Structures are given as C-alpha cells and as structure tokens.
Amino acid sequence: AQKITQTQPGMFVQEKEAVTLDCTYDTSDQSYGLFWYKQPSSGEMIFLIYQGSYDEQNATEGRYSLNFQKARKSANLVISASQLGDSAMYFCAMTHGTYKYIFGTGTRLKVLA
C-alpha cells in the first residue's frame, strides 16, 4: 500500500533563509507522482510543485525546489528565501496516474521576522 510520511509536525525558519520540509514515501509502483501543496490558515489547498518518478532532474518552481532521491524514496521540499507569507501547513502527496492522492500528515511552517 502507498504511504507518505512527514516527520516534522512543525518547523521554524528565519525570514530570508532556506528551509527543507521532509517527505518520504512508500510504494511498489514504478510510475508515480509526488506533489506538494500549501494550506494557509484560510484553508485552501494550493499546488506548489510536482515530481514524476521518471524525472531525472529535480523539479523547480520559483522559490520552491524538490530534492528527489528515488533510492531513498524521499521528496523533500526546499523553500529558498523564506517570506512571512510562506507560513502555512505544507502537505506532501503521492498519486499513481488518475488515482487518488495519498497525503502525509503535514508540516506546519512558521516564518519568523
């Protein structure tokens, strides 16, 4: 069965510094997708970045990048130059094709001024 693990319930980072949010996954599928979503206190789910299991390059999207280590089954989100508006809950999710997302338990990030 597929599983996502986020071991950091909460993280603090100083404004303008980089932070890494951890995500490990377990699957027997060869083809899968890994996604990160941001959930601000207002509650909506905002798509940040995607990494495919066959992608050789780490995904990047603006200040977000994904440190994908397939052999370790990890897909850590790196946020560079943190901003106060980055304070939110961050969820890692995995899917296979059109199927459902399996979400991790999330990491609450607080950016300090």
Cβ partners under 8 Å of residue 28, min gap 6:
none
Contact with another protein (CB under 8 A): which of 25, 37, 68, 90? 37
Q: Which of 30, 41, 44, 56 binds another protein (CB under 8 A)?
A: 44
Instruction: Tell me how far, at minimum, the Cβ of 104 lies from another protein, in Å.
Output: 7
Residue 30 as a binder of another protein (CB under 8 A): the answer is no
Q: Does 90 bind another protein (CB under 8 A)?
A: no
Span near another protein by CB under 8 A; candidates 17-25, 39-47, 65-73, 76-84: 39-47
What b-and-e string marks burial along 13-45, b requiring 16 or more CB atoms within 10 Å of the CB?
A: beeeeebebbbbbebeeeebbbbbbbeeeeeee
- 99 is an interface residue for another protein by CB under 8 A: yes
